[in-house]
Amino acid sequence: MRAQNRNREQDFSKNTWRSAAALAVSTALFVAYFQYEKFNASVQREMQQNAQVGRPLVGGPFSLVDHHGRPVTDQDFRGKWMLVYFGYTFCPDVCPEELEKMGTVIDAITAAEGEASINSSSANDDVAQYQHAPLVPLFISCDPKRDSIASIKEYLAQFHPTFLGLTGTHGQIKRVAKAYRLYYSAPPKAVDDDETDYLVDHSIFFYLMDPEGKYVFHFGRNETAEDVVARITAARQAYASYAVDEAKKAAPART
């Protein structure tokens, strides 16, 4: 009798733990789904507000040279989403960490879109290769004195084959940085003499630009690759929905 009671108690205990575990899993899934929907809705609201009241004045025209030595302007990327990062090849730690994260973001979004991988390291390719890419990753050097075209190409190849490096004169880079509201401070010897041992202080952001070349978000160092992927994915979905709505409004009414 006691053995039967013990068995019943054990069975009851097992069932209780199973029920509790199932409830915990269900609750976790519900919370995760709720948080995702809440996040997605907040992104869509932000996109709509940006469209209605205007966005921060971040970004603008640029005319630079890519890591194959070809002239490139912002117009070459119209119709494409851009993820823009400012850095330099002599950066000891922050830039490598952020570029690794950027590569993870590109891989995740490309895989989710089912797109074929692109490779910007081939000298025979040009900007047109990005026509079907879900996201164009740009690296803009803020140390044009030391960052030659060849060194940028070699540097970026360590992180991801799709990165496209851009550089220009000191004046050109200064104008682009100002347009993107990027803080960077290069010592006088970074411009005036032959000294090559110096550091460049700069803001640590990715900038997400929409297919019209307009600013959407920026991502800081404290945001994980997963955070960035989630926000970019939601922003692209919201943009697509907004574009469909605008197209419907612009379509002539049927009689």
User: Could you tell me if 139 and 85 are in contact, meaning their C-beta atoms sit under 8 angstroms apart?
Assistant: yes
By CB neighbour count within 10 A (0-12 exposed, 13-18 middle, 19+ buried), where does 217 fall? buried
Asked if 68 and 164 touch (Cβ cutoff 8 Å), the reply is: no
Q: What is the C-alpha separation between 196 and 199, in angstroms, rounded? A: 9
Q: Is 91 annotated as a binding residue?
A: yes
List, in order, residues 6 or more apart from 162 with CB less than 8 Å away: 106, 117, 118, 119, 120, 133, 137
Alpha-carbon dihedral sign for residues 121, 126, 129, 134: positive
Per the annotation, does 95 bind a ligand?
yes
3-state secondary structure of 91: coil
Q: Tokens in use for 112?
A: 């989710």
Q: Which two tokens stand for residue 133?
A: 């890419």
- Of residues 199, 189, 181, the one with CA closest to residue 89: 199
Nearest to 207, CA basis, from 176, 240, 185: 176
Dihedral sign from CA coordinates of 44, 45, 51, 54? negative
Q: Which residues are annotated as a binding site for Cu cation?
A: 91, 95, 202
Q: Which residues are annotated as a binding site?
A: 91, 95, 202
